[in-house]
Amino acid sequence: MKILLLGEYSNVHNTLANGLRRFGQKVTVASNGDFWKDYPRDIDLSRTPGPLGGASLLSRVYCQLPFWRGFDIVQIINPLFLELRAKRLFPIYRYLRRHNKHVVLCAMGMDYYWVNECVTNKPLRYSDFNIGDELREDECALKEREDWIGTDKQHLNQYIANDCDGIVAGLYEYYVCYHNNFAEKTSYIPLPIDSLPAGDMTTITPHRTPLKVFIGISKGRSQYKGTDIMLRAAEALQEKYPDKIELMKAEGVPFSEYEQMINDADILLDQLYSYTPSMNTLLAMSKGIVCVGGGEPENYEIIGEKTLRPIINVQPTYESVYEELEKLILHPEIIDDLKHQSISYVSRHHDYQNVAMQYMKFYSRLK
């Protein structure tokens, strides 16, 4: 198959492309590298800063369009698959639809259906937008609601979701929100990770004292993602157990630097409001790093995992994070087993070649 992957989210498309190429597929990745994370791509679609950045990118995209024809699959990472206004993306999407065989929409992050379902129907006990029946009112949550509900972004998302051939969700949460609206065309496929070979535990670093706890901080989104709560809990425990815990923080660093920093960690704090591990979490787990974050029962159910439970699941509260992290600090003997489970979990469910095979089966079913 000839496949065009448009846009990037946390290295999903680049990793998927590498997996698909292993099976002889001809794949092109065109993206902005997910902004400052700067993931690899074949065609750079970064938007230059300044008032003319949009016009410049639009011009480059229109020059590319003749080469974005004749693909078996065009997969877009998000309704906003380019750094352009939603109204600019309508004609580009229609062109891609008209000149290619199939178009697939990814449910991998922020979009209308994710926002609207969490705000209205609330299918999840907690999310980026609700805690139970109560809506979150932090600045980022309010901004995303304003951006996606009753705007051009909503209309673009609805148009693409209704028009495309298939929708792939990469997390349980996104699957639930899209399946409620597009049951027949929505499928769940795990996120792809270029991980250690299955069963290879040779790179695991045994637990040590002090335990090294890593947290990545997204500038301006700390409260929205729950990093503020996780950081406060870790700092309190570091003060209480100064000889048993060392806190490592990364803020706004490129992916290559982030990966180097995380390699030395024992524990990762990530995704307080998530049911499932994200790409960065899975990457850490593939290295034998224990995740404290999203590991709800639904996460294991959707992938059919019956035995492994590597993730230290926490509820979206300071007390839950503090309690679970303190257990690890006081009982480090359980960490080595969790490290082994983490590698096995990623190898079993998220290996990029196995995930690529699932995508190829999904593509072959499109009509």
Read off the pLDDT of residues 264-304 as tens digits, 9 standing for 90 and up: 899 999 999 999 999 989 999 999 999 999 999 999 999 99
- Write out the CATH class of domain 211-349: alpha beta
Name, in order, each residue with C-beta under 8 angstroms of 24's C-beta and a sequence gap of 6 or more: none
Q: How does the average pLDDT of the chain come out, rounded?
A: 94
DSSP state of 193: B
The whole-number average pLDDT for the span 325-336 is: 95
Instruction: Dump the DSSP string for 260-329.
Output: HHHTT-SEEE--TT-SS--HHHHHHHHTTPEEEE---HHHHHHHT--S---SEE--SSHHHHHHHHHHHH
Which CATH homologous superfamily contains domain 2-192+352-365? Glycogen Phosphorylase B; (3.40.50.2000)
Q: Binning pLDDT at 50, 70 and 90, where does residue 202 land?
A: low
Tell how strand 130-131 and strand 134-135 pair up: antiparallel
Evaluate whether 246 touches 253 at the Cβ level (below 8 Å).
no
> Residue 257 corresponds to which amino acid?
E
* Weakest mean pLDDT among 248-252, 299-303, 345-349: 248-252
Q: Any idea where the domains of the chain sit in the sequence?
A: 2-192+352-365, 211-349
Name, in order, each residue with C-beta under 8 angstroms of 230's C-beta and a sequence gap of 6 or more: 215, 269, 270, 272, 292, 321
| Residue written as token pair 């969490």 | 118
Read off the pLDDT of residues 34-93 as tens digits, 9 standing for 90 and up: 998 899 999 999 999 988 999 999 999 999 999 999 999 999 999 999 999 999 999 999
Q: CA 105: distance to chain centroid?
A: 15
Q: Is 2-192+352-365's fold the same as 211-349's?
A: yes
- Whole-angstrom distance, CA of residue 78 vs CA of residue 30: 13
The whole-number average pLDDT for the span 112-118 is: 98
Exposure string for 61-79, b = 16+ CB within 10 A, e = fewer: beeeeeebeebbbbbbbbb
Angle between helices 227-240 and 318-330 (to 10 degrees): 40
| Residue written as token pair 């209704």 | 162
| CB neighbourhood size of 121 (10 A) | 13
Q: Binning pLDDT at 50, 70 and 90, where does residue 197 land?
A: very low
Q: Binning pLDDT at 50, 70 and 90, where does residue 367 land?
A: confident
* Weakest mean pLDDT among 2-16, 216-230, 339-353: 216-230
* Weakest mean pLDDT among 162-171, 175-184, 244-253: 244-253
> Residue 112 corresponds to which amino acid?
Y
